[in-house]
Amino acid sequence: MLFSISFNQSHQSSLSHNNRGNIHGNPGIDPSRLEENIYFVQKDIRSVYKDVFQEAVDKYNEKQKRNDRKIKDYYDKIHKDEKTHEQRELVVAIGEGKDDPKYREAKKEALKQYAEAFQERNPNLVVYNMVLHDDEANPHLHINYVPNFESSRGLTRRVGMDRALQQQGVKGKGTELIANWRTLETAYIEELAKEHIPDFERANVGSHKYMKVRQYKEYAEMKSTVEHQIYEKEMQLEVFDHHMQYAEEKVNELQMVKIHVVDKYKELEAVEQQVKSEGEKLQLIGQRYIELEKKVKQQQEELDSFADQVPNEPVKIPFLRKEVITEVQDKMFGKAEITKKQTRNYVLSPEQYQKLTKQVNAAVTIKKDYERLKKTDFVKENESLKVHAEGWMEENRTLKREKSQLQKEVRVLNSEINSLKARIEGLQANIRVLYEQTKTMFKEKFKAFRGIIKNELDIKGVDNQFEQEHKKEINKHRGFDMER
């Protein structure tokens, strides 16, 4: 007995239909058989996203320095992404509604076994809703799942069908990859069907109609050719998308480096201003230090001058003679009696008097200066200024070292900027080559393709290098026309 195996997957789905939340307006559903349906899995897709991706999202966010680069809700992010689908639905059936009713239970049992084995066979396709419908013309299975894969860069767990299948061991890319996965799964379903339907024979089906072997071979060859062409186009778009993503990452990286450089320049300017301010302080201290040294030196010279006039050892003051007074005592009879007596006074010569006066004056001056210096100690002030000056000089040296380190960091950042600029130039060259090759291959569909690229890049707010290459080419042709 010939039976077909239907295995169709899409990113569109209706859970209200699958879970029989609303059966109105669907004449194919037999309400009397609703209880025959089997509900294997019924989960909220957001809870599945949290279970699968939250750990990777948390680790990713910890590494981000800017809040605008952190992922608040991964499901919302993917749901809003026009290029990535947050889920897919697979519909599986054996045979058709017109098949003999006696095979209905056997087909249902084979589908049930496949439903129970699906998650183990496809660990990267996490099921959040799975139901077997037995209330319509032919039993069939609805499987809603979230395809995910492990990534070595950025977010370590992401949504994606192709990489999910590849990491499960399925070979190929694009439509070839999906076709190979379909072949593996339908072969397994065929084995299950043969266990329950002894005379099961799989039919070669195209456009839902049975074909003869020759017709099927022709159909298969044509289908293979078309799929190969589609695969080549998808590969070209994938390469282009990869280059655009890489360019976008490098532009963002360059922007971050520029911001870092600006911050370093501002920090360097602040350090230079501080060094200048500390230098001015040191200059003022130096001037004050010189003035104090001059005053101390001047006072020292004056003291030395007076000290020279004061003997270092006890001396005997020279004198001319001791003072002698003459006393005359009159008598009543005879001559007066004259008596000479020495006093305790000394008689100095003019020279001796002048010398002694200088010595006494010098001693008085020294005593006064001594008393004044006790109140205003230039030495102590000088020592205090020396301590402050040494502290500021050390701080100045530290600031100069910081300035030197900042200058080194700025040089390194400038080198990184030049390296990033060179990479961006290389990417622009790649885009020029890709533009020419894409234009040659798409020909009349190239305008529509350009429109798709423009819309995608406008949404992301990225410079459209692809469109710039097109404008360059138009201007180039206009130049040729003007020369003619």
CB-CB contact of 409 with 261 (8 Å): no
Q: What is the mean pLDDT of residues 265-286?
A: 72
Domain ranges of the chain: 2-210, 260-272+397-483, 282-384
Quick: pLDDT tens for 31-60.
Answer: 889 999 999 999 999 999 999 999 999 999
User: For domain 2-210, which architecture applies?
Assistant: 2-Layer Sandwich (3.30)
Tokens 């239970």 found at: 105
Q: What is the DSSP letter of 318?
A: P
Tokens representing 235? 């590969």
Quick: pLDDT tens for 405-458.
Answer: 777 777 777 777 777 777 777 776 767 667 676 666 666 666 667 677 766 666
Sign of the CA dihedral running 212, 218, 223, 228: positive
378-442 and 213-309 are packed helices; what angle lies between their axes, rounded to 10 degrees?
Answer: 160
The helix or strand, by DSSP H or E, that contains position 132, with its residue range, turns out to be strand 125-133
**22 alpha-carbon distance from chain centroid:** 48
% of the chain with per-residue pLDDT over 70: 61
Q: What is the mean pLDDT of residues 281-303?
A: 70
Instruction: Give the residue, 79 or 395, on which the prediction is more confident.
Output: 79
What global pTM score does this model have? 0.47
Question: CA 25, 26, 32 angle in degrees (round to 5)?
Answer: 115
Instruction: Give the residue, 332 or 123, on which the prediction is more confident.
Output: 123
Quick: pLDDT tens for 54-70.
Answer: 999 999 999 888 888 89
In this structure, are strands 38-42 and 125-133 parallel, antiparallel, or unpaired? Answer: antiparallel
Q: Which residue stretches of 64-202 are H helix?
A: 74-80, 104-121, 161-167, 174-196
Q: What is the DSSP letter of 72?
A: S
d(CA 118, CA 9): 14
The band of 208, judged by pLDDT with boundaries at 50, 70 and 90, is very low
d(CA 254, CA 261): 10
Q: What secondary structure does DSSP assign to 247-294, as a single string?
A: HHHHHHHHHHHHHHHHHHHHHHHHHHHHHHHHHHHHHHHHHHHHHHHH
Tokens representing 414? 């400038």
Per-residue pLDDT for 13 more than 70? Answer: yes
d(CA 342, CA 104): 165
Q: Tally Cβ neighbours within 10 Å of residue 176.
A: 18
User: Residue 91, exposed/middle/buried by CB under 10 A (0-12, 13-18, 19+)?
Assistant: middle
Per-residue pLDDT for 147 more than 90? Answer: yes
CB-CB contact of 244 with 457 (8 Å): yes
Q: What is the mean pLDDT of residues 370-383?
A: 59
